[in-house]
Amino acid sequence: MKTIALILLIVVSAQAQIITQNFGTGANTFSIDFVEIGNLGNAADTTGYGSVGYSYNIGKYEISRDQIAKATAAGNLGITLYDMIDYGGNGVNRPATGLSRNEAARFVNWLNTSKGYQSAYNFTTSDPNGNLSLWGIGQYSGDNQFRHKDAFYFLPNENEWYKAAYGSPSGSWYKYPIGSDTLPIAVSGGTTAGSAVWGQGAPADIDNAGGSSAYDTMGQGGNVWEWTETSFDGVNDAVDEIGTLRGGNWYFTGNDGNMGSSTRGWSDPTTEYTIDYGFRVASVPEPSTGIMMLLGIVTLLGLGTKRSLPRG
């Protein structure tokens, strides 16, 4: 019986790669797909980025216009987006652009509070684009004074973003966020392996934005620059510091399209009204389906006591 339980663990865990979380109610219902980023405690890449000492989940796709619109309506967030009529239109699955890092953080806060979780970011003003405030001692972990230690959803910091883009479950690193050291093929859309949306006239839908990374994320190269949680100096200890962006955009044509692992973008955290700034969301990991099934089997067989697993 113990052998059977182990086999079940392996089979189910291998299939549990996409985690879908639902948000909102009624007409404002939407979902976000996450992928698991494991290989905890990995060494950094040669660039110095990408070392993460814990497991976490990150959005498979960039956040869409539809997701922002529904959260804004449900939570009265006051977030506005750039009118992309001249750049491919305002389709619901186009990446959300024209919002600042602060507005992205307010969206993330709503994801948390709508499910009864702790807000990730500390805002003391009702201005949708107003700067966040630092959390106090005991409310944050390490030296990251931006993110509350008990938040479930958050903006990925630069190392979390980098690992999902350029890393792999095996620990290998790649130059581009398509699981390759070869420059991505420039495409206007599609899911062909080794491709990315760059050198184009418009961004693509979030689920049609080129080939996937080794961790199965899409659009971390090209499409839109993505806000990270991290200040450009690497230390989140001042609310008005320049913020970091990663991944390049849909219209750049020079060099490697800013998609390479050594390229970092920056902007003021209050910057709005841009045609090419977007973001994706990260979260603490859920216990895998396989582990939960094994715990249930162990309990039924009387081989142990079922215990809750930590979320981070």
pLDDT at residue 5 tops 80: no
pLDDT of residue 17: 80
For residues 130 and 100, the answer to whether their CB atoms sit within 8 Å is: no
Q: Which residue has the higher pLDDT, 122 or 12?
A: 122
pLDDT range class, residue 256, cuts 50, 70, 90:
confident
pLDDT of residue 310: 36
pLDDT at residue 289 tops 80: no
Q: How far apart are CA 289 and CA 225, in angstroms?
A: 33
pLDDT at residue 3 tops 90: no
pTM, full prediction: 0.88
**Residue 154: what residue type?**
F
pLDDT of residue 260: 97
Strands of the sheet containing 265-267, edge to edge, are 265-267, 243-246, 225-231, 277-278
Task: Report the candidate in 93, 87, 86 with the shortest Cα–Cα distance to residue 70.
Answer: 93
The pLDDT of 222-239, averaged and rounded, is 97
Q: How far apart are CA 303 and CA 300, in angstroms?
A: 8
- Vertex 72 angle, CA 71 and 73, to 5°: 90
- Vertex 155 angle, CA 258 and 225, to 5°: 20
pLDDT of residue 288: 52
For residues 35 and 216, the answer to whether their CB atoms sit within 8 Å is: yes
The pLDDT of 228-246, averaged and rounded, is 96
User: Mean pLDDT over all residues of the chain?
Assistant: 89
The pLDDT of 235-250, averaged and rounded, is 96
Token readout for 153 is 């959803």
pLDDT at residue 2 tops 60: no
The answer for 88, left when phi > 0, alpha when psi is -120 to 50, beta otherwise, is left
For residues 207 and 227, the answer to whether their CB atoms sit within 8 Å is: no
Token readout for 166 is 């350029």
| Least confident segment among 12-26, 113-127, 234-248 | 12-26
pLDDT at residue 11 tops 80: no
The pLDDT of 38-51, averaged and rounded, is 97
pLDDT in tens, 169-192: 999 999 999 999 999 999 999 999
pLDDT at residue 96 tops 60: yes
Q: How far apart are CA 62 and CA 72, in angstroms?
A: 17
Torsion 6-11-15-21 (CA) sign: negative
Place of tokens 């905890």: 40
pLDDT of residue 287: 63
In our burial notation (b when 16+ CB lie closer than 10 A, e otherwise), range 103-133 reads: bbbbbbbbbbebeebebbbbbeeeebbbbbe
In our burial notation (b when 16+ CB lie closer than 10 A, e otherwise), range 234-259 reads: eebeebebebbbbbbbbbbeeebbbb
Q: How far apart are CA 5 and CA 21, in angstroms?
A: 27
pLDDT in tens, 120-142: 999 999 999 999 999 999 999 99
The answer for 116, left when phi > 0, alpha when psi is -120 to 50, beta otherwise, is left
Q: What is the CATH architecture assignment of 37-52+61-283?
A: Alpha-Beta Complex (3.90)
pLDDT in tens, 73-84: 999 999 999 999
